[in-house]
Amino acid sequence: MRAFPKGFLWGGATAANQCEGGYQEGGRGLANVDFIPSGEQRFAVASGQLDVKQLSNQEHFPGRYAIDMYHHYKEDIALFAEMGFQVYRFSISWSRIYPQGDEDKPNEAGLRFYEEVIDTCLSYGIEPLVTINHFDVPLHLIEAYGAWRNRKMVTFYLRLCETLFTRFKGKVHYWLTFNEINMILHLPYMAAGLTFKADENKTQVCYQAAHHELLASAKAVSLAHHIDPNNQIGCMLAAGNIYPYSCRPEDVMEGLQKDRENYYFTDVQARGYYPSYAKKFFEREHIQLQMEEDDEAILKAGCIDFVSFSYYNSGVASADPKLKAAAKGNVFPSIENPYLPSSEWGWQIDPLGLRITLNTLYDRYQKPLFIVENGLGAKDNFVNGYVEDDARIAYLREHIKAMKDAILLDGVDLLGYTTWGCIDLISASTGEMRKRYGFIYVDADEDGKGTLNRYKKKSFYWYQKVIKSNGEDLD
C-alpha cells in the first residue's frame, strides 16, 4: 500500500459542548447547548419545535458536564500526542470568551484556558485547528436579540473572531468559521439558537439567519487574512453524496435538488455569490432575504481558503411521495440503501461514498479539502480496562482507503483527516454517552456518573500505527 502525500495532517476532532464540561466555571456564561436535553425531548428542542422554557427540572443536560475535558485537557492532549496526532480540531465556547455575547471586553479566564490548550498542543508539535463556532450561541444573544435572525449577531461574532485572531496570532493557522453550517436548516436551535413563533415561516427565518452567518463567515475570512496573512480559514459542511433511488429521471432530479440544498452554503462561501438555483428557490418558496447594499461585495471578498466537511454516510432520494414519507432519520431523512450495511444507530456505512463526496466537492470548487469529522458511533464492551473495537477499526480503515484512492487515483487535494470524537464524548444527535466514537474510552455514562478515567482502546494502537506509517499500514 502506498503512503499518503508528505505533509498530510492526521489527527482527531472534538467540540466544546460535547466534551468540555465546566459549564459554570472560569466565568463562562450559559449557552443554547446547556439546555439541550438527552432523551426523547432532545430532537424537539434542537430543531426548535419545543421551547427550552417548557422543559421540566427533571431533564438531564449532558453537555453541561460531558467528559470534563475542562479539567483533563493536559492528560487528553498527551494521549493524542502518544497516538502521533499532527493536528487537533477543537472548538471555542463563545460564552467562555464573551459570557453574554455582547460585551465590549472578553473574559480573560476563558482566553487563558484556550491559550493553555493551544500551548499544550504546540508543546507536542500538534497543529491546532480551531472551530470558532460549533453549535454554540450565548443564551443572552438568543433571549435579547433572537440569535442569528438578528443582523447584530454579525458584529458580536466578528468581535469574538478579532479577539481570537489577535490573541492566538502565530499559534493557530487553521480556522473554521461555522461547524456544519447547513445544519441550520435541520436543527436550527442547536445550530444557530433559533426559536420560532407559531405563525412564522420557518424556512424564511432559517435562510435569513443563514445569510447573516454567511456574511459573518466572509467578514471573518477577510479579518483573519488582515490580522495574519498566514491564516488559513475554511468553511465546514455536513456532507454526504445523495444517490437517486433509481435511474428514473425524476429521482435523479430529486437527488440533485437535495445536493443543492447542502452545497448552497459552500457555493456561497467558496465562490463568493449566491448561485442562480438559490435565487429561483427563493422565488418559489416566497423567501425574501433582507440584504444591504454592501452584502454582495462582502461575500465576494471573503471566500474561504479550503473546504472542510464531516462525512458519516451517504443518502438516497426519490421523487415518489410514498418513499419520501417512509424515509428514515431525524436529521437527514433518507431512504434506506439496500446495498449498504448500517450501524447500531441506523447510519448506513458507505466508504466509497466518501470518495465520491471528495471528488464532487473538489470538482465543484477546485479548492483544498479537509475531512474534519468521520467515525463510527457504537457501543463499546469495556472489559478489564480495555475495548476490542474491531468494528471501529474496520470502519476507519475502509474510509481511509477511500481517501487514499481519491488522492492517488483521482487527484483530489486533501489537506488532512481528523476523526470525530477521538476521545469518547457526548453524541450531538442523541445526547448519549454510550454512542462512542473514540480511540480513548472515558468511564462516564449518560447521567454523568463514572470515574472519568481514560483508557486506550485497541483502535488507539491501530491509529497510532496508521499515523506513523502516513497511512501506508492499515492492517
Residues that are catalytic = 373
Are 163 and 111 in contact by the 8 Å Cβ rule? The answer is yes
Cα–Cα distances in angstroms (integers) from residue 408 to residues 232, 296, 311, 413, 466, in the given order: 24, 37, 20, 10, 17
d(CA 321, CA 325): 6
The string of DSSP codes covering 49-68 is: SS-GGG--TT---GGGTTT-
Are 135 and 33 in contact by the 8 Å Cβ rule? The answer is yes
User: What grid cell was written down for 415?
Assistant: 489537506
d(CA 356, CA 362): 10
User: What grid cell was written down for 181?
Assistant: 453550517
Buried b / exposed e along 365-381 (16+ C-beta atoms within 10 A):
bebbbbbbbbbbbbebe
Among the listed residues 40, 45, 35, the one whose alpha carbon sits nearest the alpha carbon of residue 189:
45
Cα–Cα distances in angstroms (integers) from residue 2 to residues 403, 407, 466, 474, in the given order: 12, 11, 12, 10
d(CA 12, CA 14): 7
Cα–Cα distances in angstroms (integers) from residue 332 to residues 183, 208, 301, 308, 312, in the given order: 9, 21, 32, 19, 12
- Residue 9: φ, ψ to 5°: -100, 125
Among the listed residues 101, 89, 86, the one whose alpha carbon sits nearest the alpha carbon of residue 28:
101
Angle in degrees, CA 231, 175, 279, rounded to 5: 105
Determine how β-strand 9-13 pairs with β-strand 414-420.
Answer: parallel
Among the listed residues 74, 114, 82, the one whose alpha carbon sits nearest the alpha carbon of residue 97:
114
d(CA 143, CA 69): 28
Coil, strand or helix at 414: strand
Cα–Cα distances in angstroms (integers) from residue 47 to residues 150, 202, 314, 420, in the given order: 18, 11, 21, 22
- Residue recorded with cell 427550552: 52
d(CA 268, CA 303): 8
Residue 13, sorted as left (phi over 0), alpha (psi -120 to 50) or beta, turns out to be beta
